[in-house]
A and B are shown apart, each in its own frame.
Chain A
Amino acid sequence: MINNKKINRFLITLMLVLFIVAWLFPIWNILATSMKTTEQYLTQKPWVLPLELNVFKQLFLNIYKGLIGEVEGGSGEAVLPALKSSLIYGTVGAIIAIICAALAAYALSRLRIRGRFFLFMLIFSGTIFPFQIYLIPLFRMYQVLEIYDTRLGLTLFYSAICIPFCMLVLRNWFNGIPQEIIDAAQIDGCGLLHIFIRIIVPLSWAPFATLFLLQFTWIWNDLIFGLTLSISREIRPIMAVLADLQNMKAPIPFPVVLASTLAGSLPTVILVIAFQRYFFKGISMAVAGE
Chain B
Amino acid sequence: MVRGIELDALEVPKISRIRNYKKSIDAIKHYLFLIPSLLLVGTFLIYPAIRTFIISFTEWNGVTRPIWIGFQNFYKLFTYPVFRTSLINTTYWGILTLTLPVIIALLLALIINRASGGGLFKILIFLPYSLSAVAVGIVWSYMYKNVGAINEILRLIGFENFTHIWIQEVPLNTFAIINAYVWRMVGINLVLFLIGLQNLPVEPMEAAKLEGASQWRINMNIIIPMLSQTTTVVVVMAFINGLNAFDIIWVMTMGGPYRSTETLAVTMFRESFIHFNFGGGAAASVFLSIIIFAAAIFYFRVLFKDEHN
| Chain A residues near B240 (CB-CB < 8 A) | 130
CB <8 Å contact, B142 and A283: no
Q: Which B residues are in CB contact (< 8 Å) with A26?
A: 128, 139-140, 143, 149, 183
Complex contacts, B140 vs chain A, CB 8 Å: 26
A106 contacts B33, C-beta separation under 8 Å? yes
Return B302 CB to nearest CB of chain A, in Å. Answer: 10
Residues of chain B with a CB closer than 8 A to A224's CB: 246-247, 250, 269
Known: A123-B37, A126-B46, A280-B195. A223 touches B246 (CB 8 A): yes
| Segment with Cβ contacts to A, from B2-10, B48-56, B77-85 | B48-56
Whether A161 lies near B45 (C-beta < 8 A) is yes
Residues of B within 8 A of A58 (CB): none
- Contact between chains at A276 and B123 (CB < 8 Å): yes
Q: How many residues of A contact B (CB 8 A)?
A: 84
Q: How far is the CB of B152 from chain A (nearest CB, A)?
A: 5
Q: Is the CB of B41 within 8 A of A123?
A: yes
B44 CB to nearest chain A CB (Å): 4
Which of A64-72, A138-146, A175-183, A203-211 lines the interface with chain B?
A138-146
Within 8 A of A (CB), among B219-275: 233-234, 237, 240, 243-244, 246-247, 250-251, 254, 264-265, 268-269, 272-273
Closest Cβ of chain A: how far from B84's Cβ, in Å?
19
- Chain B residues near A30: list those with CB within 8 A: 138-139, 142
The digit string for A79-97, where 1 denotes a CB below 8 A from any CB of B, is 0000000000000000000
Encode B110-122 as 1/0 by CB contact (under 8 A) with A: 0110111100010
| B98 sits at the interface (CB 8 A) | no
Contact residues in B for A136 (Cβ distance below 8 Å): 48, 51-52, 55, 272, 278, 281-282, 285
- Please list the residues of chain B having a beta carbon within 8 angstroms of any beta carbon in chain A: 27, 29-31, 33-34, 36-38, 40-41, 43-49, 51-53, 55, 62, 111-112, 114-117, 121, 123-128, 130-135, 137-143, 147-149, 152, 183, 188, 191-192, 195, 233-234, 237, 240, 243-244, 246-247, 250-251, 254, 264-265, 268-269, 272-273, 278, 281-282, 284-286, 288-289, 292-293, 296, 303
Q: A26-B143, A129-B292, A135-B281 are in contact. List 19 more A-B contacts (CB 8 A).
A: A16-B112, A23-B124, A27-B128, A46-B152, A101-B37, A122-B41, A128-B296, A134-B44, A134-B49, A135-B273, A136-B52, A136-B281, A141-B47, A161-B45, A164-B45, A221-B133, A246-B134, A258-B142, A261-B134
